Structure 1
């Protein structure tokens, strides 16, 4: 076996490398050592500095544009095949009421899920108040967002993934789906379609890209290899393991009641003619399909001017 020195695998920063190079320059080196030192100074150090600078610009994103370092590459369905192309972009979020834009934020990540909390926090800072109810589509339906909304006494009319799917007959009539397995809350176990128990075997922590942590409970069967329905139940070679996020499941029960209530149905019917209609007016009627300015501060100003123009146009139309 070979001993591994942890010091040799420790990442080094450019400042530390520059200090070591400076110290070695003062030492008496032979020809081979001097050659290696020159390579470190003229090649490795500049590349390491460039790499660190790129990481600093990147921040928590997965990409950025060289022509606008604040912009992130996002998939755009602009080509004739509508299959998406990666282009530098910003993710614009808006709040509306009666098709008036009441607030907007410019995001640097493509996923809507990570934009909601910042959007609501900046809304609160701007108006020194907060909406009592929030209506949004399934793109915002994450555990982190639900916990934030409920902790801030905001009624969340926010759909989650599979909300519409789970109401279909195909979903309801499939006894092998995880969502349709019976869970005994009192004794903490799951019952499979042939009445066998999946016992609790432990928990694991799942962390999102934003650092939000979810506790996942794990349950495992013991007799899957003998079961005649195994092929219909799951594809795993061993016994089936089921993961449950108990907190999220409880929240979803609450969300279902809200969304299927009379008020929830009213909010859901209005949502497509609120936010979607405003984006439609901006993009189709006003031909505002792309930003003409670069950098986040300038893009904020540009969209702000478009929002003001949109609201003024709505006021004039309403008065007429």
Structure 2
């Protein structure tokens, strides 16, 4: 019952606060963080296992079927089973049922003399068939993921925060929780099993629209959200995307001997063709168009034909045929827009607000309230739990703000 009403409850609490506090409705600050699932960290299952071992078990099944055919041929029994290439659990079950029936009819069950040769082969076939079925089930559970936890099948193994004692990333089952913040209050939350933020933006915004009947006018996020598909999605839905892209910070760094030969620091011609530090323009090698996302993605592949006699070739490239570059004009246009926007006072203020509001929200929940591990299992249960946490956060913030309670006195009850 709670799951059916949690979205409406969350919405009504937020709209009440929005009405009382006159919150800014047009700008949504987005951030994501990983919460540890209520699952044992040693219960992992990897897609690589399914890819590696399922074909091996199928190969073993085929070998057993060949041995069964050999037995029938040796005993001049007119029975033979086909050898098929594609794995089929239904086919293995059919063979097992037929041979079991044959053994029962011929009374091959021997007492005190051990199992019949044919019965032994059937037992081996059953073991491999069970393994095949287990890997097929695991493949269904995996979906588009690379791992899951056997304790909580919806949880994905993700890199948590850096372990300063063991000097490694902590790898645990968890969920990627996304939150949209408006003036310090949580307007929307989205639970994802994908560890990458870039793939969560579109479903997050679609759910936001479903909840409030419209998209936000402006979305502000860090480099984890900046990408071609997300920029195109925002453009198509009339959303101002203030999303930094991967490499934004590196592009701002001063050019020196270490980064001089990075593509982001190359000069460009008027049509966007890169020019190497030695002054040689790249040549267009080919153009590709991909249709995987919302709109066709045009990528231009360049190659520099002047690398053979270049005195700094070893510092610039290891390619035998010259330095290459891949540029997507539409993405470069969006990057230029982001660069110009973030240099303005408004852009800087938006990033500053996001750092304090979006990142500050998760800092309160995790550090101040010590809420780092989930209690419920399953994506639906986690969604209910996190939205209850979001409701509590909003009510607590509203109450403390209304009664003038100092921030240091905020305690998770």
| Interval of TM-score (by shorter of Structure 1 and Structure 2) | 0.7 to 0.9
Aligned-residue Cα RMSD (Å) equals 3.1
Structure 2 residue 160 is the aligned partner of structure 1 residue 71: no
Structure 1 distance, partners of 2:178, 2:276, is 42
How many Å apart are 1:117 and its aligned residue? 0.8
How many Å apart are 1:34 and its aligned residue? 7.2
Aligned pairs (5 A) from 1:24-63: 36=121, 38-40=123-125, 42-63=126-147
Structure 2 residue 220 is the aligned partner of structure 1 residue 135: yes
Residue 88 of structure 2 corresponds to 13
Q: Which one of the candidate residues 281, 290, 303 is aligned to 1:220?
A: 303
Give the TM-score, by structure 1 length: 0.85
Structure 2 unaligned spans of 5+: 1-81, 104-115, 404-413
Residue 232 of structure 1 corresponds to 315
How many Å apart are 1:250 and its aligned residue? 1.3
Residue 150 of structure 1 corresponds to 235
Q: Which has the larger radius of gyration?
A: 2
CA contact (8 A) 1:165 1:171 kept: no
Change (3 A) 1:178 1:315: same
Residue 4 of structure 1 corresponds to none
Change (3 A) 1:65 1:283: same
The alignment partner of 2:376 has SS state of coil
The alignment partner of 2:189 has SS state of strand
The alignment partner of 1:12 has SS state of coil
Q: Relative contact order: is structure 1 or structure 2 higher (C-alpha 8 Å, sep ≥ 6)?
A: 2
Give the TM-score, by structure 2 length: 0.67
CA contact (8 A) 1:201 1:219 kept: yes
Change (3 A) 1:52 1:94: same
Change (3 A) 1:273 1:17: same
The alignment partner of 1:275 has SS state of helix
Residue 401 of structure 2 corresponds to 318
Residue 36 of structure 2 corresponds to none
Structure 2 residue 194 is the aligned partner of structure 1 residue 109: yes
Worse overlay, 171-180 or 12-21: 171-180
Aligned residues: 311
Structure 2 distance, partners of 1:227, 1:78, is 42
Q: Which one of the candidate residues 236, 254, 278 is aligned to 1:194?
A: 278
How many Å apart are 1:15 and its aligned residue? 2.3
Structure 2 residue 193 is the aligned partner of structure 1 residue 118: no
How many Å apart are 1:37 and its aligned residue? 5.1
Structure 1 unaligned spans of 5+: 1-6
The alignment partner of 1:76 has SS state of strand
